[in-house]
Amino acid sequence: MGGTLDFKVRKTYYSTIVAASIRIFNVETRVMATKKVVVLGGGYAGISAAKTLEKKFKNRPDIEIQMIERNTYHTLLTELHEVAGGRVSPASVRIGLNRLFKTDKVQIIQDKIDNIDFNDQLLYSANGSYPYDYLVIATGSRPFFFGLQGIETLGFKLWSYKEAVVVRDHIYDCFHNASTVTNREKRKKMLSFVVAGGGFTGVEMAGELGEWKNKLCKQFSIDREEVSIYLLEALPNILNIFDPDLANKCKKRLEKLGVQVLTQCGIERVDKDGIYLNTKKKIEGTLIWTAGIQGNPYLENMDIKYDRRFRVEVNEFMQSVQHENVFCAGDTISYLYNEKPLPQIVETAVQSGESVAENIGRLLGEKKMKPFVPNYHGVMVSVGSVYAVAKLKSIKLTGLMATGLKHMVNVHYLFGIGGLPLIFDYLNHEFTDRFVTPRLDVIHNDPLHKNVTQF
Ligand SMILES: Cc1cc2nc3c(=O)[nH]c(=O)nc-3n(C[C@H](O)[C@H](O)[C@H](O)COP(=O)(O)OP(=O)(O)OC[C@H]3O[C@@H](n4cnc5c(N)ncnc54)[C@H](O)[C@@H]3O)c2cc1C
């Protein structure tokens, strides 16, 4: 009897040890075999990379995918001017990251990365560290100020959701405050706006401002003649990426909206008394800076090769020239394709995001990587809400047709990342929820404006 009991106890004891060993072995083999791909940045490039990885590895428990983004949302940067110009509500350019992935394959982490240790393969934030086996850097770009004095501190920027809201509120406050001031000089200063940079962003911002100005003048009983809007471009023409005839059409449209387009006109410096131009003119007013672009300066002092504007040097696979397991996508890339730098536009971001995800898949499957081959469809720019110009391969469009095309491109992008719900939101923001009134706090205190729409 005693012997049988002893045997049973020993049997249970041994089977427990065996089961535990199997469990440890399983955990260890899983940990050993698991590869972790981290996508840093949830912009156009990061989303594209993460979604391609999700599709590729949805049935592979041995591959973990993490996306780290400092915001809880994806920002539609190309539409920031509509927010800054008071045309649409800020919510229209902000899409919650939790709406973008069909499965839970991509783990979304909201954190801001401050440092990367490429040897130990760790990303560091103020909250801790994140290991990776493969890393996709897709942290976008920031404005560049060419070392010009005063611009960074005194000028408004238009490179993030928050900056767009700040610009919008400032413009609104200028009109609101000017309506309460009787001193002509003070009013003139409050109602003068300089948009620096005749590229896409500058033209789109100036166009929105030209349109919004009319509504604000009506709202605050200000004479339109009192408002000055300047678009400054250092080169002989605006929109140098376009054919001259299309660029000229944009210029005419801007002038129709009351924007003074000054070409071959640069800013020398800015101080609290005004904006000093190389034509010896001084303008007192608001500066919105859209003229320069550089990579994300947080890369400074990190052990990765980047060019003089903080863009990471990559090879034809968009792989860091220094670290084999680090790839880049979007505005972060420094690469000459057909002897020209890759343009920092959405098509580059989306396509390079897909390409690096595919190449990581090939590396994991021990296959040969494929070089990144961009395929650009065209360029378009809007000047206000009902006018745009577009060039698609050899087709040129202007006016409402081009505006319609721009909406279609946005709808196509949104459908690709989030399906029908995002399209409904877009149409609602663009066509029904328009003409939002900012600064509700100001308005609520104003007895003249009682029944305003909350947004
Ligand atoms: C106002 C404006 C208008 C534009 N208009 C057009 C246009 O009409 N057509 C066009 O093709 N292109 C346009 N562009 C350019 C286009 O938006 C960019 O080329 C595109 O956004 C690049 O995508 P990206 O993913 O590389 O960077 P982004 O879209 O900027 O995304 C980078 C992401 O990384 C995150 N991030 C950055 N640093 C960190 C960090 N340290 N830790 C965690 N997360 C971080 C950011 O929060 C951001 O979400 C415009 C740009 C601007 C600013």
| CATH class of the domain whose range is 151-291+386-444 | alpha beta
User: Nearest 5 degrees, angle CA 94-CA 100-CA 103?
Assistant: 155
Which is nearest to 36 in space by CA: 129, 135, 102? 135
User: Nearest 5 degrees, angle CA 397-CA 143-CA 374?
Assistant: 50
The reply to whether domains 33-70+111-143+294-376 and 151-291+386-444 share a CATH topology is yes
User: Does residue 447 have a pLDDT over 90?
Assistant: no
* Ligand 1 lined by 250 (C-beta under 6 Å): no
The whole-number pLDDT of residue 380 equals: 94
**Measuring from atom 48 of ligand 1, which residue has the nearest CA?**
43
CB 81, CB 205: distance < 8 Å: yes
User: Does residue 435 have a pLDDT over 60?
Assistant: no
* Ligand 1 lined by 302 (C-beta under 6 Å): no
Helix (H, G, I), strand (E, B) or coil at 249: helix
Residue with more model confidence, 1 or 210: 210
| CB within 8 Å of 295: residues ≥ 6 apart | 141, 142, 306, 307, 309, 310, 311, 312, 331, 332, 334
Angstrom distance (rounded) from CA 65 to CA 449: 50
First to last CA, the chain: 80
Q: How many CB atoms lie within 10 A of CB 98?
A: 9
Angstrom distance (rounded) from CA 51 to CA 74: 13
The whole-number pLDDT of residue 440 equals: 52
What percent of the chain is modeled with pLDDT above 90? Answer: 81
Q: Return the HEC string of 338-370.
A: CCEECCCCHHHHHHHHHHHHHHHHHHHCCCCCC
* Ligand 1 lined by 295 (C-beta under 6 Å): no
Token representation of residue 68:
């780290």
Angstrom distance (rounded) from CA 349 to CA 343: 9
Helix (H, G, I), strand (E, B) or coil at 75: strand
The whole-number pLDDT of residue 189 equals: 95
User: Does residue 25 have a pLDDT over 80?
Assistant: no
Q: With bands split at pLDDT 50, 70 and 90, how would you rate the model's confidence at 245?
A: very high
Residue 431 DSSP code: I
CB 439, CB 75: distance < 8 Å: no
Angstrom distance (rounded) from CA 193 to CA 283: 9
The whole-number pLDDT of residue 433 equals: 67
Q: How many CB atoms lie within 10 A of CB 342?
A: 23
Angstrom distance (rounded) from CA 357 to CA 319: 11
Q: What is the Å distance from ligand 1's center to 60 Cα? A: 30
Residue in 81, 309, 345, 347 to alter for ligand 1 test, most ligand atoms within 8 A of Cβ: 345
Helix (H, G, I), strand (E, B) or coil at 382: strand
CB 318, CB 303: distance < 8 Å: no
User: Helices 346-364 and 44-57 meet at what angle, rounded to 10?
Assistant: 30
Residue in 72, 77, 351 to alter for ligand 1 test, most ligand atoms within 8 A of Cβ: 77
- The average confidence (pLDDT) of the chain is 89
For 113, counting Cβ atoms within 10 Å of its Cβ (0-12 exposed, 13-18 middle, 19+ buried), the class is buried
Bridge partners, 38 (sequence order)? 66, 135
**Measuring from atom 35 of ligand 1, which residue has the nearest CA?**
41
User: Does residue 196 have a pLDDT over 80?
Assistant: yes
Residue with more model confidence, 89 or 250: 250
CB 312, CB 333: distance < 8 Å: yes
User: Does residue 437 have a pLDDT over 90?
Assistant: no
Residues 435, 439, 441, 447: what is their CA dihedral angle, to the nearest 10 degrees?
-60
The whole-number pLDDT of residue 436 equals: 56
- State the complex-level ipTM: 0.99
Angstrom distance (rounded) from CA 117 to CA 102: 31
**Amino acid present at 164:** A
DSSP string, 258-284: TEEEE-S--EEEEETTEEEETTS-EE-
Q: With bands split at pLDDT 50, 70 and 90, how would you rate the model's confidence at 10?
A: low
CATH architecture of 33-70+111-143+294-376: 3-Layer(bba) Sandwich (3.50)
Helix (H, G, I), strand (E, B) or coil at 73: strand
Q: What is the Å distance from ligand 1's center to 26 Cα? A: 42
Q: What's the helix, strand, coil split of the chain in %, to 5? A: 40, 25, 35
The whole-number pLDDT of residue 448 equals: 39
All structural domains of the chain with their residue ranges:
33-70+111-143+294-376, 151-291+386-444
| CB within 8 Å of 373: residues ≥ 6 apart | none
User: Does residue 449 have a pLDDT over 50?
Assistant: no
pLDDT tens for residues 280-314? 999 999 999 999 889 888 888 899 999 989 999 99
Q: With bands split at pLDDT 50, 70 and 90, how would you rate the model's confidence at 384?
A: very high
What percent of the chain is modeled with pLDDT above 70? Answer: 88
Please report the atom of ligand 1 found closest to the CA of residue 41. Answer: 34
Please report the atom of ligand 1 found closest to the CA of residue 329. Answer: 26
Q: What is the Å distance from ligand 1's center to 114 Cα? A: 18
* Ligand 1 lined by 390 (C-beta under 6 Å): no
Q: What is the Å distance from ligand 1's center to 265 Cα? A: 27
* Ligand 1 lined by 66 (C-beta under 6 Å): no
CB 199, CB 288: distance < 8 Å: no
User: Does residue 40 have a pLDDT over 80?
Assistant: yes
Please report the atom of ligand 1 found closest to the CA of residue 353. Answer: 25
pLDDT tens for residues 68-89? 999 999 999 999 999 999 999 8
For 317, counting Cβ atoms within 10 Å of its Cβ (0-12 exposed, 13-18 middle, 19+ buried), the class is buried
pLDDT tens for residues 322-377? 999 999 999 999 999 999 999 999 999 999 999 999 999 999 998 999 999 999 99
User: Nearest 5 degrees, angle CA 256-CA 258-CA 264?
Assistant: 95
* Ligand 1 lined by 346 (C-beta under 6 Å): yes
Q: With bands split at pLDDT 50, 70 and 90, how would you rate the model's confidence at 29?
A: very low
CB 310, CB 297: distance < 8 Å: yes
User: Does residue 232 have a pLDDT over 90?
Assistant: yes
Length of the chain, in residues: 455
* Ligand 1 lined by 200 (C-beta under 6 Å): yes
